[in-house]
Amino acid sequence: MNIFQYPSQAEWAALQQRAAQQQAQDVEQRVQQIFEDVRRRGDAALLDYARQFDGADLSAGLRVSPEELAAAAAQVPAELQTAIRQAHANILRFHKAQIPQEERVETMPGVTCWRRAVPVQRVGLYIPGGTAPLFSTLLMLGVPARLAGCPEIVLCTPPQKDGSVNPIILFTAQLLGITTIVKAGGAQAVAALSGGTDSVPAVDKIFGPGNRYVTAAKQLATRYGVAIDMPAGPSEVLVIADESATPAFVAADLLSQAEHGPDSQVILLSDSLLVLEQTKAEVERQLQELPRAEVAAQALTESRAILLRTPEEMLYFSNQYAPEHLILAVRNPEQLAEGVTSAGSVFLGHLTPEAVGDYASGTNHTLPTNGYARNYSGVSLDSFLKKITFQRLTPEGLLNVGPVVETMAESEGLRAHARAVTLRLEALAGGEQ
């Protein structure tokens, strides 16, 4: 990690640049080609991409069979099963508290309005596989999807080289009651979910993180009338650490994001040069102990350690950067947290590693990246619900609000709008109900 000391605000934009943003044009062109291919050839294209990208022969079928699903639990260690069940319980408890209550509001006498939450009918969950199958992400998406009552849930995840799906992902799917599971990953999975194939049902909304190809594919899917949770791309973390921080803790937090993938990014801000230097040394030491050291090392090439003058200046930098994960490793985290305006999820204090949010604290880890935390929230129960408004008028209500609508509609030159009210008012005046 390179250390930058007291950069001017004019230099901040360069320090806040994500590597993925620099490669966007080439990625979008390739994803467009994949979309067109999948929409033209359907399952045949998915089978070809499985051979090309995953080294898997799926000629026996793209769907996970009931037998494969039933056999998964026997391949998952009991200790891990227990941990997954506990994480499931915590995530369920946190998201259950988000269930909206329907409230009826009388805006004028006789005019009643209310809003009802209705589940998205068909949702697609994309779960990354590859070198780190994210079964934890399946919990984060499957729990609120089930809680919302979505009638159709389709899971897409990349196959292993032998054509199977990671048994931990299948065990988690079984725990969630998800049975429609497709062996497809990357942009091609998103393309299939957006238009449908013989094996992949088309969905209304696509959820799930992924690399820059998956992110570009999700954004492209919106052009075909499919909604997405957010543009969730390569993982990132920003840590604000003052002199009270423990360099070993901070280094572990930085590496926990760097090991996600070579295009992940970590940023460290501090008002203490000593903390920056000690953390950098700890990163180099701990890196050697990681099984995914090569991946993390690649991510660190795009990472920065920055010396700033005050906590306020660090927070200002952070709000501009809008990190997916923000760790406040400072003496008074609650006080500093009051000024956070742009972040996916915030972790307060020296004993709150970002890793707990990734797995089991209960909050959702599917979060906006690439600066989208400025205008997107992370996944929640609301992400799987549509809010439909209703209204009903009594005769008294029409008499009260009708003249207001007539006056406004006439002023906008929308005579038919006004007439829709006037005819009813005349009917009431004539004794009709």
Residues in binding site? 126, 188, 211, 235, 257, 260, 325, 358, 412, 417
Amino acid at 402: G
Binding region for substrate: 235, 257, 260, 325, 358, 412, 417
Angle at 192 between CA 189 and CA 194, to 5 degrees: 110
Quickly tell me which residue has 């009260």 as its tokens.
400
Are 334 and 352 within 8 A, CB to CB?
A: no
Catalytic residue among 325, 334, 350, 365: 325
Note if 313 is an active site residue: no
- Altogether, the residues listed in the chain come to a count of 433
Are 378 and 344 within 8 A, CB to CB?
A: yes
Amino acid at 326: L
Binding region for NAD(+): 126, 188, 211
Binding region for Zn(2+): 257, 260, 358, 417
Catalytic residue among 259, 282, 302, 324: 324
Q: Which residues does 111 contact at the CB level (< 8 Å), separation at least 6?
A: 391, 393, 397, 400, 401
Amino acid at 298: Q
Note if 259 is an active site residue: no
Q: Which residues does 33 contact at the CB level (< 8 Å), separation at least 6?
A: none
Tokens of 375: 């205008």
d(Cα 54, Cα 160) in Å, to the nearest integer? Answer: 7
What is the set of active-site residues?
324-325
